[in-house]
Structure 1
Amino acid sequence: MSHSRREFLKAASAAAVSLAWPGGLLAGTPRGVLPGFDVYPHAGESDLRELAARALEAARTAGATYADVRFTLTRVEDIRFYGPMSYGILRDHEFAGVGVRCLVDGAWGFASSTLWSADEMARLAREAAAQARMNARGRRRKIELDPPPAPAKGEWRTPIARDPFNVPLREKIDVAGAFIEHARRYNIGARNATVSATMTTIWERKETTFASTDGAFFSQTTYSARPSFSVGVRTPRGYAGRSSDLMQPRAGGFEVVSEARLVDEIPRLVEDAFLMVGAERITPDRYDVVVDARLMAQLVALTIGTAAELDRVLGYEANSVGTSYLAPPAEMLGTFQLGPELLNVRANRSRPEGLATVRWDDEGVEPEEYDVIRRGVLVDYHTTRELAGELAAWHGTQGRPARSHGCAASESALGVTMVQPPNLEMVPGPDPVTLDDLASGLKKGLVICAGRVTVDRQQLNGEINPEMIYEVRDGKRTRFLHSAEALFRAPELWKSLKAIGGGGTQLWTGVEVRKGQPSQVLRFGVAAVPGLFERMAVTDRMRKA
């Protein structure tokens, strides 16, 4: 869709009145209500090239030695389904942003807005340059970017089968309603129980256009699906719920939901929930514990993924989200044995399932694949153009240049660029070991599935609150338990890892973290397999002191 310049600028000026506060992001505004809302150019259109050139020209004039400009146009739809014709649209909106970043006298400045106009581009560039010049007065170090990569040029889109925003609402209702009805009608037998189910779908399309004084100009459009599905079983003894392993956040289009083999999974979810009703409370103790792939993914994400963000490691996020136990780099890289040799974690931004998958990062760098943990040893961090030089000595010993891994990201152009974990992949074991195989070796232990992992501000100490727990004695499942809370300290936890699942047990999911001031939401994909940990401390979270 193209627009005349007069039409575009007129509409953008009208929008400015309603967008006086950029932090609002048009939250809750229905599509088409804002005057001129639909005239925002899409990624890569000529209007954006002209606006980007205006911003970069103004940045150079203001004294920037480097500058970049990002435009984002994001559409989000969030629907909750309760039955075949029962649903609620929680969000359906689109919001735009533009951000200009300038490097002056070795310091950054950044300014952003929701108004896209030629005059606004110049204003943002001047403001960012002035801010950088002011920041340079109190800088502790001079920022030096790694050598510019070959200028990123072109277009890229997440490979999808169907754009969810082109799918009729009726079809979405029919697909979700069919899954819910299938769960409700599951034959649970003469067990005096009722089955309920709910489903949520969150779709996001983010169109990004990027330009820099290094000569980059590209556009890319990413799609993500963040669905969830859960069943509940109520009996005279109580209620229990179980959530789907298949409906997990990942990159993709409508096919993530429509092609999911949820019908095959529903019987197991219902049976699990029924058995969880009336579960007994856990007895606090140390147990050998089998952790399923979903919980393992969260452990990898929080104790390795976010802990390896180099800005966090260097203390630059200390007053925001915290620091990292994987510090300092000079004492850790190549020497810190986090876990056994069977623990290997690789990073990428290329896997089709991953929420962090892109062709270029938010600095125009084409990401590369690299090891974070190799044979249990920490060997790398997540870097950007600004931070790559901090690891020059280490990379020199490895015979490679220090360059950005392509981990720069932001929630939208309204937020400053920062380090984001890429997709993380826990390498499966070589043998076809399943979760049941791991459990069969337990003399007295637990199997914990799904739920939530939380950690402290160093990513060091944490707890696991599982959704489902069952006891295993002599390799056989004996009873379901509840109120368990597993406590851990990351290095001791990973050192106690004794076995992991094979490739057939790998599960992809998505993890959401908050970072920065103002806070931004960053998402990335994680693939993990089940694992067996020895002597994990497990408490009863309902126990009174």
Structure 2
Amino acid sequence: MKRRNFLGMAGMGAAGALLHGFPAIGRSITEADALMIRADAAAKKRMADIALQAARSKGATYTDVRIGRYLNQAVITRDNRVQNVANSESYGIGIRVIANGSWGFAASEKMDADSIAKTAALAVAIAKGNAKLITEPVQLAPQKGYGEVSWKTPIEKNGFEIPVKEKVDLLLSVNDAALKGGATFINAALFMVNEQKYFASSDGSYIDQDIHRIWPTFTVTKTDKASGKFQTRDSLSAPMGMGFEYMFASPEHKIIGGPTTLYKGRYDMLEDVKAATMQVGEKITAKSVEPGKYDLVLDPTHLGLTIHESTGHPTELDRVLGYEANYAGTSFLTLDKWKTKKFNYGSKLVNIQADKLQPGSLGAVGYDDEGVQSGQWDIIKDGILVNYQTIRDQAHILGLQASQGCCYADSWDSVQFQRMPNVSLMPNKQTRSVADIIKSVKKGIYIIGRGSYSIDQQRYNFQFGGQLFYEIKDGQIVGMLNDVAYQSNTQEFWNSMTDIADKNDYRLFGTFNDGKGQPSQASAVSHGSSTAKFEGVNVINTARKIG
């Protein structure tokens, strides 16, 4: 297939849903445009200095400047055809200031000196207008300037340099394997992001960053013509902060011990789709679960979503303070619980850490969008709530002397605000395998992959499904189940955690499109864990009607 036959923005078809929420979609560009020579750091510094000087001359007491070029590529296929290849670019400057104690923000796609200066002046004017409405001035945590520094995602292969034909051929081979294996139809897609971000501030930082993310995914569907029943299975891939090397797994990346082959740090899309095609057939004939109390063995491909919803979101300080109440909700982890230093969030095995440094993770950066250097810190320690996630104008609320570096904007024309870092469950310090955990279960269910879910606005009461469910009896996996979901509340659930595998099983789950804010922004974040056991969790049958 020749490039000109499928390159473009039209013809999304049924796969259009896969692009919903794809971050920073901008103008359509060609594949060659995506590889054009970028502006060098010296040129960006000159533009940033124009903004900094203009803002200061208009009365700003603090200014930060973000110059961003955001590249996105989506390759989408269905069955034996390409549905779409979309390349897009978004490029411009965002200027944030404090004047008269209040924030102001303005942005522009015009990058000449006069336009940049006018945008900076507009940001100051907005701040001064906002100042008439505030009850107390912004309190910004101290932040030293780093001078001229840079950071890059440590990739081995730049995905944007891989020919589109090679990506198309891979996806079509995945589809072909599924169809030959008996699938009724299949969608397969590959999404890639490159954020070329330059940050400068009146604190004296000039930070150039080059950030890469990749997400291969598919959905296999199989229909039983006799009964009319059908089942689906999504890919078990995790989106990653990596280059195209993520698509090349080898035997040393395999995780052994569970009911299906999984990989650590790499992904074999072809092997996954072959397994998925067999498993959807098994799901059609699998027995429906009997509701009741079960011990759950949760794989990281599933547990990551539970961590995201029941731990990541309720420990965002802006939610705790009610800043997100109108859209994303609030949090049951209120400040009074943190102040006691005794609030029992989970069992002593529950150690949850925020991390902006972990290689391969979606949230890994050198510096956040306020110029704060990335780091790590405990959120839950031995089951006790000890911290939250903060940015510079929140740090004083917790008595912190510095921001934790949780500021992010999904585009140059979006104002940066508090976003989730990687939030992960730490593995067992003792040697413990998945097989060891399964052997300890008398009556349980092993769950793999993310499914539908529901959680209340305070991130307390919830229900989670999955992709694959395996029944465990007397320490043995005895077969597949259907129609499984579990219900609990956050505190009860994490206190029921009684076992977890060691670091050899530790893997990342992630999401490209975590929505928050008004206007809504999407961010990418990872959640690591090893396979964990939760005792006596309430399981429901999702196919049975109530009453």
The TM-score by the shorter chain falls in which range?
Answer: 0.7 to 0.9
TM-score (norm 1): 0.86
* Correspondence for 2:321: 314
Q: In the alignment, does 2:409 pair up with 1:410?
A: yes
Residue 28 of structure 2: SS of its match in structure 1? coil
**1:29-52 CA distance string (max 9 Å, x none):** 43169xxx9999835444322221
Deviations 1:136-186 (A, max 9, x none): 222233211111223342222211122111111121122333344444555
Once the 2 structures are TM-superposed, how far is the Cα of residue 418 of structure 1 from its aligned partner?
0.9
Change (3 A) 1:490 1:128: same
Shift of 1:357: 0.8
User: How has the CA–CA distance of structure 1 residues 119 and 26 changed in structure 2, closer, same or farther, with 3 Å as cutoff?
Assistant: farther
Structure 1 319/197 Cα, relative in aligned 2: closer, same or farther at 3 Å? Answer: closer
Matched, 1:492 2:492: yes
Distance in 1 (CA, whole Å) between partners of 2:380 and 2:231 is 38
Determine if contact 1:71/1:98 at 8 Å carries over to the other structure.
Answer: yes
Letter in 1 for 2:29: R
Asked whether the 8 Å contact 1:333–1:380 carries over to 2, the reply is no
Measure how far apart 1:355 and its partner are: 0.7
Name the residue aligned to 2:217: 228
Secondary structure of 2:140's aligned partner = coil
1:356 CA displacement: 0.9
CA contact (8 A) 1:465 1:485 kept: yes
The letter for the 2-side match of 1:474 is D
CA distance in 1, matches of 2:506, 2:99: 46
Q: Displacement of 1:116 after TM fit? A: 2.1
Seen in structure 2, the aligned counterparts of structure 1 residues 26 and 323 have a Cα distance that, compared at 3 Å, is closer
Counterparts of 1:62-461 in structure 2, within 5 Å, are: 62-82=58-78, 86-185=81-180, 193-194=182-183, 197-235=186-224, 236-237=226-227, 238-245=229-236, 247-259=237-249, 260-328=267-335, 331-332=338-339, 334-392=341-399, 402-452=401-451, 453-461=453-461
One-letter amino acid matched to 2:239? P
C-alpha distance in structure 1 between counterparts of 2:345 and 2:74, whole Å? 39
C-alpha contact 2:300 2:509 (8 A) present in aligned 1: no
Deviation at 1:518, TM superposition (A): 0.5
Amino acid at match of 2:411: S
1:103-125 C-alpha deviation (Å, 9 max, x unpaired): 11221111123222222222222
Cα shift readout 1:79-114 (whole Å, capped 9, x = no counterpart):
12335x622225211112321111112211111232
Number of equivalent positions: 504
Q: Deviation at 1:461?
A: 1.8
Q: Does 1:55 align with 2:56?
A: no
Give the Cα separation in 2 of the matches to 1:147 and 1:77. Answer: 38
Q: In the TM superposition, what whole-angstrom CA distance separates every residue of 1:335-386 from its partner, at most 9, and x where no partner exists?
A: 2121111111122211121111111110111111111111111111111111
Distance 1:81 1:320, change over 3 A: same
- Alpha carbons of 1:424 and 1:43: their partners in 2 closer, same or farther (altered >3 Å)? farther
Equivalent position SS for 1:372: strand
CA distance in structure 2 between the partners assigned to 1:389 and 1:149 by the alignment: 16
Give the match for residue 263 of structure 2: none
Alpha-carbon deviations, 1:477-503, whole Å to 9, x = none? 344332222112111110111111222
What are the superposed Cα offsets for residues 223-265 of structure 1, whole Å, 9 maximum, x if unpaired? 10011134444444543333333x2100111111244334554
TM, length-normalised to structure 2: 0.85
Aligned partner of residue 226 in structure 1, secondary structure = strand
CA drift at 1:195: 7.0
Please identify, of 377-386 and 194-203, the stretch whose mean Cα deviation from structure 2 is larger.
194-203
For the 8 Å contact 2:338–2:386, the answer to whether it is kept is no
Offset of residue 455 of structure 1: 2.2
**Taking structure 1 as reference, are residues 82 and 25 closer, same or farther at Cα in structure 2, changes over 3 Å only?**
closer
| Paired amino acid for 1:287 | Y
Q: Kindly provide the amino acid, as one letter, of the partner of residue 214 in structure 1.
A: D
Q: Tell me the SS of whatever aligns to 2:52.
A: helix
Task: Find out whether 1:516 has 2:511 as its counterpart.
Answer: no
Which residue, out of 28, 31, 34, partners 2:29? 31
- Segments of 5+ residues of structure 1 without an aligned counterpart are 1-22, 187-192, 396-401
Let me know the Cα RMSD of the aligned residues. Answer: 2.7
Q: Which residue of structure 2 lines up, in the alignment, with residue 8 of structure 1? A: none
Structure 1 pair 24–56 and aligned structure 2 pair: CA distance change class (3 A): farther
Per-residue Cα deviation, 1:422-441 (whole angstroms, up to 9, x for no partner): 12231111344344432332
Distance, in Å, in 2 between the alignment partners of 1:137 and 1:212 is 25
The alpha-carbon distance between structure 1 residues 423 and 25, as it changes in their structure 2 partners (threshold 3 A), is: closer
Letter paired with 2:342:
T
How far apart in 2 are the matches of 1:111 and 1:437? 56
The Cα shift of 1:131 comes to 1.8
Matched position secondary structure for 1:47: helix
Say whether the 8 Å CA contact 1:337–1:377 is kept in structure 2: yes
Shift of 1:330: 6.5
Specify whether residues 414 and 194 from structure 1 end up closer, same or farther in structure 2 by C-alpha distance, changes over 3 A only: closer
Distance change >3 Å, CA 172–CA 331, structure 1 → 2: closer
* Cα distance in 2 between the residues matched to 1:25 and 1:336: 36
Secondary structure at 1:206's aligned position in 2? strand
Aligned match of 2:255: none
Secondary structure of 2:119's aligned partner: helix
User: Deviations for 1:439-485, whole angstroms, at most 9, x for unmatched residues?
Assistant: 33222222222123442221222210212223222233344332222
Which amino acid is the alignment partner of residue 243 of structure 2?
G
Amino acid at match of 1:357: A
In the other structure, the counterpart of 2:254 is: none
Distance in 2 between the 1:242 and 1:159 partners? 31
Task: Identify unmatched segments of 5+ residues in structure 2.
Answer: 1-20, 250-266
Q: Alpha-carbon deviation of 1:196?
A: 5.5
Alignment correspondent of 2:11? none
Contact 1:483 1:541 in 2 (8 A): yes
Superposition deviation, residue 520 in structure 1: 0.3
Q: Given the superposition, is the C-alpha separation of residues 533 and 377 from structure 1 closer, same or farther in structure 2, using an over 3 Å criterion?
A: same
SS in structure 2 of the partner of residue 57 of structure 1: helix
Q: Deviations over 1:295-347 (max 9, x none)?
A: 21111122111211112212222223121111115744622121111111122
Q: Deviations over 1:501-525 (max 9, x none)?
A: 2222222121231111110001111
Q: Is contact 2:34–2:87 with CA below 8 Å preserved after alignment?
A: no
Residue 399 of structure 1 aligns with which residue? Answer: none
Q: Which SS does the other structure have where 2:354 is aligned?
A: strand
- For the residue of structure 2 that corresponds to 1:458, the secondary structure is coil
Which SS does the other structure have where 1:250 is aligned?
A: coil
Seen in structure 2, the aligned counterparts of structure 1 residues 140 and 459 have a Cα distance that, compared at 3 Å, is farther
Answer yes or no: is the 8 Å Cα contact 2:52–2:201 preserved in 1: yes
* More deviation, 302-311/453-462: 453-462
